[in-house]
Amino acid sequence: MFFIGIFGIQDKDKYIGNCSNIECPSCGRLSMYEIHKVYRYFHIFFIPLFRWNVRYFVKTPCCGRLYELDPFVGREFEKNPGTEINRENLRQVNLPFRYCVNCKTEVPAEFSYCPYCGGKL
**Which DSSP string corresponds to 12-39?**
EEEEEEEEEEEE-TTT--EEEEEEEEEE
- 113 in a structural domain: no
Task: State pLDDT tens for residues 78-119.
Answer: 999 889 999 999 998 877 677 777 777 778 878 888 888 888
Instruction: Supply the range of the domain harboring residue 40.
Output: 2-95
- 117 in a structural domain: no
- 10 in a structural domain: yes
- 114 in a structural domain: no
- 78 in a structural domain: yes
Task: State pLDDT tens for residues 42-89.
Answer: 988 878 898 999 999 999 888 778 899 999 999 999 999 889 999 999
Asked if 16 contacts 32 with a C-beta cutoff of 8 angstroms, the reply is no
Count of structural domains within the chain: 1
Q: Is 56 exposed, middle or buried (0-12, 13-18, 19+ CB in 10 A)?
A: buried
pLDDT at 78: 93
82 — phi, psi (to 5°)? -85, 5
